[in-house]
Each structure stands twice: as structure tokens, then as C-alpha cells.
Amino acid sequence: MSEASAGRTGVALTERQKISWLRLIRSDNVGPIAFRDLINHFGTAENALDALPELSRRGGTKHSYRVASIAEAERELEASRRHGAIFVGIGEAAYPSALRQIDGAPPLLAMKGDLSAAARPSLGIVGSRNASVSGAKFAAMIARDAGRARYVVTSGLARGIDTAAHRASLDTGTIAALAGGLDKPYPPENIGLLEDITSGRGLAISEMPFGWEPRARDFPRRNRLIAGISLGVAIVEAAHRSGSLITARYAADFGRLVFAVPGSPLDPRCHGTNDLLKQGAIVTTGPEDVIEALAPLSQLELPLPGAREPDGQTGVPANASDSDRAAVSTALGPTPVEIDDIVRHTGLSPTQVYLLLLELDLAGRLHRHPGGLVSVAATE
């Protein structure tokens, strides 16, 4: 089935394909963008898995490269079944449609709860963990009214604003995006809230493996899911340099609306939100500000993305010589550059350049930046 004829229902992955996808995304140094480029280049996850060790070797890996095994993927699928969760591929109907549009969307998402929540337009609501009483009240007010207006409320299950937003939208639908595996919610005191969410009209999602304990750097990555799944994100209280501002930044990068609630300049919990207002966020003093701005967007039909799987139409793998490899290495430095510029600079074909970048990526030597820019560390 081609991309154009996939229609609004998407295409389902077979069980065998799902195992290959899971193996591929769980293999060393395969992030969402490398995953996409591998599938685009090799046609199927299975073909890509075969190519991984050689690609990483050519990219100059310094360690032995680990490909996730079939047994490992089967264990994770079994864990998800025990947990009552499923894995949904980016081309499948149950995958959140707004999230599909972002660069670096997870190819597989573990989901638990009412899957229909992911089909509805979402408003993200995030903010301080040490929220003020009025901040929490305001978050609940927006969540309740957004829920009545048929939006699902997405947040991060954190203390404070997140908790208030989830609780106020339990009856209308809420999505908790987790930084660790679905079986490793954080913080512990919100385990009960998560059960309320997944047993009712809500949903929990994660791109991380079952059993994964969330580390500090997993939270910004998770924030990208909240922004990506939502048409707009409301930031209720946020200090300078807080995680909520990372979510706001992602939302802006993805072209989503950013709402910020004004607050006293003398309250540090409002410094971040006031800064967002200075940067052009929508001044939000009530749910109507959010709902009116979202209304035109929630009417849009989002297109399904290109996903060459599952019919396995494969492109012809390009070959690259050592001199091509040297040319791309030379073109790269510690300053992020656009891939198009590397293509122009080296005179190689885009397919060759993507392949050579994949090699570096799998070898753990490439840094990917927002906007599709790439760099290598200065010492290389």
C-alpha cells in the first residue's frame, strides 16, 4: 500500500514487523531520526538490522556495536502485554496524529488506557512542580474547560501544575507522557493518579523501554512528546530555566501555539511565563483565550506521514566510497550545519550523504540538533 492510498486509518504493522521495529529502535545509537533514515534507505527494519553492524563500523565506532536481539524484543512485547499496554507504530491509526508531524517523532509508542484519547486534538498544560495554590487552580480551570470543549489534556504527571491539569481532566480525557518506561512512573506519589488515568478515559504513553528508570536527561526528551502531541501548550507557572520552558520551546519549534499565564514579576514562579510573553506567547487569562485560539487548528485534518513499511518497497541502497566518507567528515565540524549544505558542499547525492551521516550516527559520533542540523564533536 503506498503512502497516498493509506488513508485516514493508517496501516497496521504485522507482529513480525513490530518485533523488527522494536529491535531497530532499541539497538545502539538508533534514535528516531536514524530510524527514519534507516527505513528510508533500506526499505524495511529487517534489512536495516542486517546493515547496522557494518554501518557503525564504517562510521568509526570505538566499541562493539550491539543490535537488539529477537528475544529481547519479544521479552519487551510480553512485558507490555502483561502491563496491559500496546506498541503503536508511527504509521498506525492509533498513533497520535499531531505527534506524527514532528521531526524525530518516536517510531514506536507504548500506550496504555483509552486509545481514543490519542485521536482527539490535544492541549498540553505544564508548569511548576512547586505550584502556588492559585496556579494549580488556574491549571485546573483551563483543563476542565478545555475538556468540555472536547480537547484531551496532555501533561507530564509531575507534581504541581501537571497533577492539577490531569486531575481536572480525568472525566474528559487526559494523556500522561512518561519519561521512563510505562511501568516506571515518576514521581511515586502520582502512581495512583496514573492508575486513575489509564483505567478511565485517559492514556499513558512512553517511547522508552519497559523497565526503564527515568534519568534527568529523559525529562526534556519526554517534554518533546507533550509539545508534539498537542496543538498548543499552556504554561501556567514556570521559573527561569525550568522544564516547562523546554516544553514551550519545543512547541514553538514545532509550530504549535504557546500560551503563557501572566503573573507577578515579584514571584519567581512567574519569571519564565512572563519571559514567554515577552517572546510573543499568547497572553492567557482564562480558558477562553486557549479555546478560541485552538478552535481553527482543531478543524485541520493532519495528513498521514510517509511510512514505506509495511509493504517493504525498498530503495536501492546507495554505495559510498572511502573518499566520499572523507569528504563528509571534512564537511562536518563542531558548528551545526544543514544536511543540504553538506550535499552542496561535497557534490555527493543526498542519498549518499544521508547514508554516511547514518554511519556516523550509529557509531555514536554524530550530534543531531533542532531543525535537522548536524555536527561532530570538536576533538574528532
List of residues contacting a copy of itself (CB under 8 A): 134, 137-138, 261-266, 270-271, 274-275, 277-278, 283-286, 289
Of 60 and 262, which has the nearer Cβ to a copy of itself?
262
- To a copy of itself, the closest distance from the beta carbon of 285 in angstroms equals 4
- To a copy of itself, the closest distance from the beta carbon of 273 in angstroms equals 8
Give residue 266's identity as a one-letter amino acid code: L
> Which ranges in 94-242 belong to alpha helices (H)?
97-100, 133-148, 161-168, 191-199, 218-229
> Least distance in Å: CB of 270 to a copy of itself?
7
Cell numbers at residue 330, please?
571534512
CA 23-25-26 angle, to 5 degrees, is 60
For a copy of itself, the closer of residues 266 and 316 by Cβ is 266
If we measure between CA atoms, which residue out of 252, 253, 251, 260 comes closest to residue 282? 260
Q: Which residues of 254-287 are buried (b: 16+ CB within 10 A; e: fewer)?
A: bebbbbbbebeeeebbbbbbbbbbeeebbebeeb
Min dist CB 286 to a copy of itself, Å, is: 6
Alpha helices per DSSP H over the chain? 15-26, 32-42, 45-58, 70-83, 97-100, 133-148, 161-168, 191-199, 218-229, 243-253, 271-278, 287-298, 322-331, 339-346, 350-362
Q: Sign of the C-alpha dihedral, residues 197, 203, 127, 297?
A: negative
What length is written for the chain? Answer: 380
Q: How far is the CB of 123 from a copy of itself (least distance, A)?
A: 17
3-state class (DSSP) for residue 308 = coil
Q: Do the beta carbons of residue 224 and residue 102 sit within 8 Å?
A: yes
By C-beta, is 2 or 285 nearer to a copy of itself?
A: 285
Gap between the Cα atoms of 291 and 298, Å rounded: 10
- Pick 262 or 306: Cβ nearer a copy of itself: 262
- Give whichever of 283 and 300 is closer to a copy of itself, judged by the CB atom: 283
- Helices and strands counted in the chain (H then E): 15, 12
Q: Smallest distance, Å, CB 263 to a copy of itself?
A: 5
**Beta carbons of 151 and 177 less than 8 angstroms apart:** no
Residue whose CB is less far from a copy of itself, 286 or 315: 286
Shortest distance (Å) from residue 168 CB to a copy of itself = 15
Q: Strand 232-235 to strand 122-126: parallel, antiparallel, or no bridges (unpaired)?
A: parallel
Which residue, 69 or 279, has its beta carbon nearer to a copy of itself? Answer: 279
CB of 47 to a copy of itself, least distance (A): 53
Tell the smallest beta-carbon distance from residue 262 to a copy of itself (Å): 3
Nearer to a copy of itself, 280 or 371 (CB): 280
Q: Which is nearer to a copy of itself, 237 or 309 (CB)?
A: 237
